[in-house]
Amino acid sequence: MVEKFNIAKGMGTCAKTGTAIEQGQTYYVVLYEDGETFRREEYCVDAWDNPPPGAYCHFKTRMPVKEKKKRLLVDDDVLVTFFERLKNDTQPIRLQFRFVLALILMRKRILKYIETKQQDSREYWLMRLGTGGEVHSVLNPNLRDDEIETVSKELGVILHGDAGQWDDDQEEESPSPESPADPEPSA
């Protein structure tokens, strides 16, 4: 069963200066571990020095323009970094996040399914990252379709600040002033 938790939406306000982050404006998002989930803070470019102490990861993005369909535009490297950072985590919600990230990365052809292994009555998918890359063992938490959708929305809240949509066609579009820029991944 999918665990439900509350993550505050992006506030659209710089955590350091308190100034509003306007539509189309570039800013940084920092994720912190917060129990079993993650807490999000946003920083204006002008107020950004480096990631604050205790940051789990951070990335650079752009505030979407409200007239546009909301989409989760996160660089593939950010998704891979987040997937890899969750590698040794054993908390149930993070195992679900990692599984859904694996599905997204498979759909984007970044992860390739190799085979399924059984261990301790649990199903693990072996997947290769890229061509000749590292093989990852991903626990299949046996989520139903509606549970996958719920976890995907929670990931959208963490990465984008709202329940944005995953858009696999993003790499075919070039960013315009009205669309979010590609975030810069970090660890």
What proportion of the chain, given as a percentage, has pLDDT over 90?
31
Question: What does the pLDDT look like over 29-76, one tens digit per residue?
Answer: 998 888 777 889 999 999 999 999 999 888 999 888 876 455 556 788
Residue 28 phi, psi dihedral angles, 5° rounding: -110, 145
Prediction pTM value: 0.52
Question: What does the pLDDT look like over 89-99, one tens digit per residue?
Answer: 999 888 998 99
DSSP tag of 179 = S
Q: Is 173 exposed, middle or buried (0-12, 13-18, 19+ CB in 10 A)?
A: exposed
- Name the packing angle between helices 145-160 and 92-107 (round to 10°): 90
Q: Where are the domains of the chain?
A: 26-172
